[in-house]
Amino acid sequence: MKKILFFLFATTFAVAQTNTEVYLFELNNDKGNWSVGKGKNISNNPGYDSQPYFYSKNSIIFSSTRNNQTDIAEYDLKSGKIKFISNTPNGGEYSPQRIPKSKDISAVRLDTDGLQRFYKYNYKTGENTEIIKDLKVAYPMWYDKNTAINVVIVGDDLDLIVSELKLKRNTTVQKKVGRSLHHIPNTTFISYINKEKEQWEITMFNPNNGERRKIIETVGKKEDICWLPDGTVLIAVGNTIMKFNPAIDKNWGIFHTFPKNKYKNISRILVDPKGSQLLLVSD
């Protein structure tokens, strides 16, 4: 079990020691020309703060360290205040996301005894129930309210598995994948990181018919990506975010470079559905 825990969260714990924070920036789009505006630290908390998600137009949820454990925090965009949704003394929550057609939140819970499962948390009470049994879900993504696309620990690898919840059916799509899962805007595809080859690739996958296609190779061994509403994919590389639009670009270009003395190692990135806000996590 120790081997499994190290495999999944080695990066997480290493980042936690360097005190990661969640930042929110304004995004501007002037006739297709994107620019990054003002930003602020919304977690401002010692320890591990990461894996942010736009819960609604009014709030953001993320994993945050509290009392030596990791709970689900919610940041109110209007007031700037933070409240905690979960309080799990015997474990910690990671990758919080809003469940489609619901106010409730899903998260990966890692208990102190090593048990790792995918749970649903009541938004108001924090009460939780298990969503998927017998799968060590590491990084989940909701495709719809009945379908979760999951990166799952299988042996010493991470596999991409589609979980059809009503049918209680789990189907393996591909072995050796990365942690970044996202809907591709205005399509029925999702994107994931394909690590089967020496050079990693961003791959698109349609859960409805199983279609898969390569989009582009990643930049080195980087795997944290997200999408702009216009179909441009972004990837975090050090203190820079690179961009690639499959419809018009042949290679990666620079989207924005942040001051190196303040943002040394950007990891998770996310853009809201309207393309007006950018979330990132940095040391």
How many domains does the chain fold into? Answer: 1
pTM given for the model: 0.93
Domain range for 63:
2-282
Is residue 205 within 8 Å of residue 215, measured between CB atoms? no
Q: What is the pLDDT along the chain (283 residues), one digit of tens a residue?
A: 333 343 444 333 333 346 899 999 999 999 999 999 999 999 999 999 999 999 999 999 999 999 989 999 999 999 999 999 999 988 999 999 999 999 999 999 999 999 999 999 999 999 999 999 989 999 999 999 999 999 999 999 999 999 999 999 999 999 999 999 999 999 999 999 999 999 999 999 999 999 999 999 999 999 999 999 999 999 999 999 999 999 999 999 999 999 988 998 999 999 999 999 999 999 8
Give me the pLDDT at residue 18, please.
62
Q: Residue 230 sits in a domain of what CATH number?
A: 2.120.10.30
Give me the pLDDT at residue 1, please.
36
Give me the pLDDT at residue 19, please.
87
* Backbone region of residue 97 per phi and psi (left: phi > 0; alpha: psi in -120 to 50; beta: other values): beta
